[in-house]
Amino acid sequence: MIKPRTAYMHNRLYCICCYMKGISMKKRSMRQGLIRSIIRTKRIKTQKDLVDALNADGHKCTQATISRDISELGLRKLPEGIYVLPEDLHLQRMMCDLVVDLNYVNNMVIIKAQAGTAPGVAAALDDADLEGILGSVSGDDTIMVIASSNKLAEELHYKLAAFRGVTE
């Protein structure tokens, strides 16, 4: 019978395969976080584009690994052929269909929505977990989003305007 190799960490005995699985889980989590960032900042059309972007960032991986990550992250393709995160797709639909106006001042973004729809838009915004958002408050038709800085509020404003299909 073959005995599993063991590794000692913090005076505890761990099976080496469980230890290695923990390392691969961290790598996968880091890689998927990077994939989320790449999908949000670049127009990725193919798995090869995504592999190339990850390799350029110093993360060596294969198309098969990316295929599994795409499935686990639930990435979708828009009709124009670019990958999007499911929560971003939901937010984009909400922004297009329900948002009437969008402005920013200092570190706040003010979103005007159709009557009664602001809580749903705010929930979609929270689910998207966009960078720089400290929190949001919603009423019946208005959402106030607090960003961590004036610059991030401006960037968020333009990102949300892009979700609406408006270029300013």
Tokens representing 164? Answer: 């609406």
pLDDT of 167: 60
pLDDT of 61: 87
On the question of pLDDT at 57 being above 80, the answer is yes
At 168, the pLDDT band (50, 70, 90 cuts) reads: low
Burial class, 16, CB count within 10 angstroms (exposed 0-12 / middle 13-18 / buried 19+): exposed
CA dist 80 and 30 (Å) reads 28
Mean pLDDT across the chain: 83
At 15, the pLDDT band (50, 70, 90 cuts) reads: very low
146-166 per-position pLDDT tens digit:
999 999 999 999 888 887 876
What does each C-alpha distance from 115 to 94, 141, 145 come to in angstroms?
13, 5, 18
DSSP state for residue 1 in the 8-state scheme: -
106-135 per-position pLDDT tens digit:
999 999 999 999 999 999 998 888 888 999
pLDDT of 2: 46
DSSP state for residue 140 in the 8-state scheme: S
On the question of pLDDT at 92 being above 70, the answer is yes
The model carries a pTM of 0.63
